[in-house]
């Protein structure tokens, strides 16, 4: 929660307790301070609907105290009425806070740039965003979490299963990056990211910002049709298309459509990488050697890309769905180091054959002499690997794909393990894996 939100809640709590003290001037003083905190919050941080009951309570308490300035006695009845109301009102902004991205820990500030790229041969236009390291953000404008936030709100509501008004407060969410900053000197290694079903290019900004702060460029595109919503710079949009994910199909037909999707998204990656240096030459990106990373569907696509493109030097897979990969990838593995982090299998998202397919590929990859690391993050669910987990710390009680683990903790595990693989790939060091208490090896039936 934001500073003045916490201040207002604290002051209103003290004001409620002041009903038990026979001193009217104290109650009035606290109500005035609550009013000042409310005004500061409104003008500095901006209002949001979860705080409206607290605004009303602050105003009512001030009116009551002004009208009862001479009543120097305890007000037990008012206390027992106000206390439960206050607790209910406080719950709203706590359950649905303004999401806050983790503060990046690397030595660099973060620049970001976005552009569109048209593959004329497939008549497919892809919005792309890049996060990258910079050492000078003086006078630059802070970037928002999302491009085209207004258009994205209804889609975010749909994707989270909440009404539109319930997620409008995410417009207050801030990023830690700056628009069109100058990149650091030298060629910058690339992480090429693939979102999942209902995802979008900024869905894992926590990972993008942390890796950029550590000296890497993080490149992500919207995969049109499979993205939650694609918004172009001219204002036109493309909605999520159910047929992209074979909705309504089963068995072999379903599998065939998902395999085709995997190939289409892999072609997106290749096209973006082929044109990246010419599209943003000012960023000095080195596209000759990249690490592919992906969440869910994007994880499977990352494996397929790494099997088929010699520029891929490693994979970071986040709760990957293997079906978009081909049988050849399962049988022959990938010729690169591999890190895969899974959500807790007790909080079932994927069925058992998904991990069996991964194990089949991982065994061949490891037998070929490449580093393979797979871990389960205990008490995590599927959306723990995206910014969606930030929508509510109580998301696991609201039916969201978020587990009991603290979101910033799961994000720390993901970023630190990813960095270990990146340093192994780009610097040639033996992987320096940090062991976390919340990580375990995969155990069948766990």
H or E element that contains 92: helix 76-95
The alpha carbon of 335 is separated from its chain's Cα centroid by a whole number of angstroms, namely 29
pLDDT of 446 over the 60 cut: no
Phi, psi angles (nearest 5°) of residue 353: -60, -25
User: Kind of pairing, strands 174-179 and 142-144?
Assistant: antiparallel
pLDDT in tens, 385-398: 999 999 888 888 88
In whole angstroms, how far apart are CA 144 and each of 161, 177, 346? 23, 8, 36
Q: Which residues have a Cβ under 8 Å from the Cβ of 180 and sit 6 or more positions away?
A: 111, 113, 140
Average pLDDT of the residues of the chain: 93
Average pLDDT over residues 333-352: 91
- DSSP bridge pairs for 217: 190
Q: Which of 260-264, 270-274, 391-395 has the lowest mean pLDDT?
A: 391-395
278/185 Cα distance (integer angstroms): 18
**Residues 6 or more apart from 259 whose CB is under 8 A from it?**
323, 324, 326
Contact (CB, 8 A) for 127 and 155: no
The maximal CA–CA distance of the chain, rounded, in angstroms, is 84
The radius of gyration of the chain's CA atoms, rounded to the nearest angstrom, is 25
Percent of the chain residues past pLDDT 70, beyond the cut: 99
Say what the pLDDT of residue 281 is. 85
Residue 440: what pLDDT? 85
> Does position 71 have pLDDT exceeding 80, yes or no?
no
Quick check: helix, strand or coil at residue 327? helix
> What are the pLDDT digits (tens) for 403-416?
999 999 999 999 99
pLDDT, position 74: 84
326-339 average pLDDT score: 95
Is the pLDDT score of 399 beyond 90?
Answer: no
pLDDT on residue 361 = 95
Q: Which domains does the chain have, with CATH numbers?
A: 3-95 (no CATH), 109-440 (3.40.50.1820)
**Residue 421's pLDDT is what?**
97
Read off the pLDDT of residues 92-151 as tens digits, 9 standing for 90 and up: 999 989 999 999 999 999 999 999 999 999 999 999 999 999 999 999 999 989 988 889
For residue 293, give the nearest of 420, 193, 205 by alpha carbon: 193
Q: For the residues 331-342, what does the mean pLDDT come to?
A: 96
- Given this model, what pLDDT does residue 337 score? 97
Arithmetic mean of pLDDT, 220-245: 95
User: Would you state the pLDDT for residue 443?
Assistant: 64
pLDDT of residue 70: 76
**Which position has the higher pLDDT, 284 or 236?**
236
Residue 351 pLDDT level (bands cut at 50, 70, 90): confident
Question: Residues 6 or more apart from 97 whose CB is under 8 A from it?
Answer: 1, 50, 392, 393
Token output for 141:
């404008």
């Amino acid at each position: 929660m934001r500073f003045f939100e916490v201040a207002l809640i604290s002051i209103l709590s003290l004001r409620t307790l002041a009903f038990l003290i026979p001193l009217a001037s104290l109650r009035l003083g606290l109500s005035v301070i609550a009013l000042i905190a409310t005004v500061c919050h409104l003008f500095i941080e901006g209002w949001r609907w979860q705080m409206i009951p607290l605004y009303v309570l602050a105003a009512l308490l001030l009116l009551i105290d002004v009208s009862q300035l001479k009543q120097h006695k305890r007000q037990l009845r008012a206390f027992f009425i106000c206390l439960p109301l206050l607790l209910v009102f406080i719950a709203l902004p706590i359950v649905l806070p303004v999401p806050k991205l983790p503060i990046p820990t690397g030595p660099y500030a973060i620049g970001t740039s976005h552009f569109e790229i048209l593959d004329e041969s497939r008549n497919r236009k892809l919005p792309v965003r890049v996060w990258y390291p910079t050492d000078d953000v003086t006078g630059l404008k802070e970037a928002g979490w999302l491009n085209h936030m207004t258009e994205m709100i209804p889609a975010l509501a749909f994707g989270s299963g909440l009404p539109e008004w319930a997620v409008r407060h995410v417009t207050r969410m801030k990023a830690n990056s700056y628009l069109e900053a100058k990149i650091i000197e030298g060629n910058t290694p690339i992480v090429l990211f693939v979102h999942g079903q209902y995802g979008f290019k900024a869905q894992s900004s926590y990972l993008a910002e942390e890796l950029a702060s550590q000296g890497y460029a993080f490149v992500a595109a919207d995969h049109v049709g499979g993205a939650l919503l694609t918004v172009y710079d001219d204002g036109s949009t493309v909605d999520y298309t159910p047929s992209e994910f074979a909705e309504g199909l089963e068995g072999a037909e379903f599998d065939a459509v998902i395999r085709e999707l995997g190939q289409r998204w892999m072609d997106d990656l290749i096209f973006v990488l082929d044109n990246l240096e010419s599209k943003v030459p000012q960023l000095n990106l080195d596209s000759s050697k990249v690490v592919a990373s992906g969440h869910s569907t994007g994880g499977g696509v990352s494996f397929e890309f790494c099997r088929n493109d010699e520029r891929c030097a490693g994979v970071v897979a986040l709760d990957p769905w293997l079906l978009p990969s081909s049988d050849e990838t399962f049988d022959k593995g990938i010729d690169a180091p591999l890190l895969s982090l899974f959500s807790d299998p007790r909080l079932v998202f994927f069925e058992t054959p998904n991990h069996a397919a991964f194990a089949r590929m991982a065994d061949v990859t490891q037998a070929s002499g490449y580093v393979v690391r797979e871990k389960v993050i205990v008490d995590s669910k599927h959306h723990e690997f995206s910014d969606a987990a930030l929508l509510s710390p109580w998301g696991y009680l609201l039916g969201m794909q978020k587990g009991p683990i603290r979101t910033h903790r799961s994000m720390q595990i993901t970023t630190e393990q990813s960095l270990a693989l990146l340093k192994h790939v780009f610097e040639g060091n033996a992987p320096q894996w940090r062991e976390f208490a919340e990580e375990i090896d995969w155990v069948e039936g766990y």
